[in-house]
């Protein structure tokens, strides 16, 4: 009897499971169409030198534009794309748009502004990211120096050998490498030292702690010092207050990104914004 009850409980869940699977399938269909119809785009968020206020980079962030003018954020569709393999064409698309953005920046007199592209571990497993980047560099005529790749700390550590090989090839091309969301994964210090990388990107959660006093900012401080010892630069993500920016600058963090400086912007708006501000922000 108990067994029977267990079984019928299972059956009771079935419609819900089917509905969830159905919704997922519908979302995937919609995402496929969006990609085919050019509704997946990027926005670009400025990255600034904290000492001078110079804009030295922009991070490309994927956006799904709906017909009603609203946008779906990447967290809502990148995981699905990764689970289904759609991340391969989607990743190619984002890379192409990012290289095209770099070409436009160059033409507008901002050749020194790097475009940073997020690449996930699944992308590295499923496609030859280096070959794809080489193709896009050739197609758009931009220099590898204008491109940066961001991989998360957990991706870098979990797939260490394979990821290290990809990053090594990218850096030999001249593409720079940043370790994203740093501090939230479990880094082996031995691995970190052997990782071909230029930049540690301090996770936003540590930046939020800065306003909360000395003991809470200890981790951000530690990451900056660690980076210094490894000859890496640091960039802070998610800077929202002037206090955070000042604290970071005073503690030796070279670069910053966050709503205090600018939100992510469509390329045309970014170009206007850069022209209007002479390529720098107030710090």
- The residue ranges that bind ligand C2E (CB under 6 A) are 45, 61-62, 73-75, 78, 94, 118-120, 150, 180-181, 237-240, 258-259, 264
Which of residues 6 and 72 has its CB atom nearest to ligand C2E in the complex? 72
Please count the other Cβ atoms lying within 10 Å of the Cβ belonging to residue 14.
9
Q: Does 180 bind Mg ion (CB under 5 A)?
A: yes
State the minimum distance, in angstroms, from the CB of residue 213 to ligand C2E.
20
State the minimum distance, in angstroms, from the CB of residue 119 to ligand C2E.
6
Q: Give 217's DSSP letter.
A: T
State the minimum distance, in angstroms, from the CB of residue 6 to ligand C2E.
39
State the minimum distance, in angstroms, from the CB of residue 252 to ligand C2E.
20
Distance between CA atoms of residues 246 and 248, nearest Å: 5
Which of residues 155 and 271 has its CB atom nearest to ligand C2E in the complex? 155
CB 210 within 8 A of CB 218: no
- Binding site partner of 78, from Mg ion, ligand C2E, none, Cβ cut-off 5-8 A by kind: ligand C2E
Please count the other Cβ atoms lying within 10 Å of the Cβ belonging to residue 244.
23
β-sheet bridge partners, residue 58: 46, 115
- Binding site partner of 73, from Mg ion, ligand C2E, none, Cβ cut-off 5-8 A by kind: ligand C2E
Please give the distance of CA 54 from its chain centroid, rounded to a whole number: 20
CB 150 within 8 A of CB 124: no
Query: Residue 189: which residues within 8 A CB-CB, separation 6 or more?
Result: none
DSSP string covering 40-58: EEEEEEEEEETTT-BEEEE
* In 37-159, alpha helices (H): 78-84, 87-107, 121-126, 129-140, 153-158
Which of residues 13 and 259 has its CB atom nearest to ligand C2E in the complex? 259
DSSP string covering 89-102: HHHHHHHHHHHHHH
Which of residues 16 and 76 has its CB atom nearest to ligand C2E in the complex? 76
State the minimum distance, in angstroms, from the CB of residue 208 to ligand C2E.
8
State the minimum distance, in angstroms, from the CB of residue 31 to ligand C2E.
13
Which of residues 94 and 175 has its CB atom nearest to ligand C2E in the complex? 94
Footprint on residues 96-125 left by Mg ion (CB under 5 A): 118
Q: Does 150 bind Mg ion (CB under 5 A)?
A: yes
Footprint on residues 217-246 left by Mg ion (CB under 5 A): 237
**Residues forming the site for Mg ion (CB under 5 A):** 118, 150, 180-181, 237
């Amino acid at each position: 009897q108990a067994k029977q009850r267990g079984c019928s409980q299972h059956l009771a869940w079935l419609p819900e499971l089917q509905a969830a699977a159905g919704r997922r399938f519908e979302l995937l269909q919609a995402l496929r169409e969006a990609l085919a119809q050019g509704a997946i785009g990027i926005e670009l968020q400025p990255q600034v030198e904290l000492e001078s206020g110079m804009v030295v980079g922009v991070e490309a962030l994927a956006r799904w534009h709906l017909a009603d003018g609203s946008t779906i954020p990447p967290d809502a569709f990148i995981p699905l794309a990764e689970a289904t393999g759609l991340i391969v064409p989607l990743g190619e698309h984002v890379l192409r748009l990012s290289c095209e953005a770099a070409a436009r920046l160059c033409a507008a007199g901002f050749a020194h502004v790097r475009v940073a592209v997020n690449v996930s571990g699944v992308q590295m497993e499923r496609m030859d990211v280096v070959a794809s980047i080489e193709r896009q560099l050739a197609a758009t005529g931009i220099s590898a120096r204008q491109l940066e790749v961001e991989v998360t700390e957990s991706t870098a550590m979990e797939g260490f050998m394979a990821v290290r090989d990809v990053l090594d090839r990218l850096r030999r091309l001249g593409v720079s490498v940043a370790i994203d969301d740093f501090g939230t994964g479990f880094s082996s210090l031995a691995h970190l030292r052997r990782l071909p990388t230029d930049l540690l990107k301090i996770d936003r959660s540590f930046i939020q702690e800065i306003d909360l006093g000395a003991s809470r900012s200890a981790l951000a401080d530690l990451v900056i010092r660690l980076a210094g010892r490894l000859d890496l630069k640091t960039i802070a993500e998610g800077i929202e207050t002037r206090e955070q920016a000042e604290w970071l600058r005073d503690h030796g963090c070279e670069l910053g990104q966050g709503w205090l400086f600018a939100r992510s912007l469509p390329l045309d708006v970014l170009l206007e914004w850069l022209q209007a501000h002479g390529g720098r922000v107030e710090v």
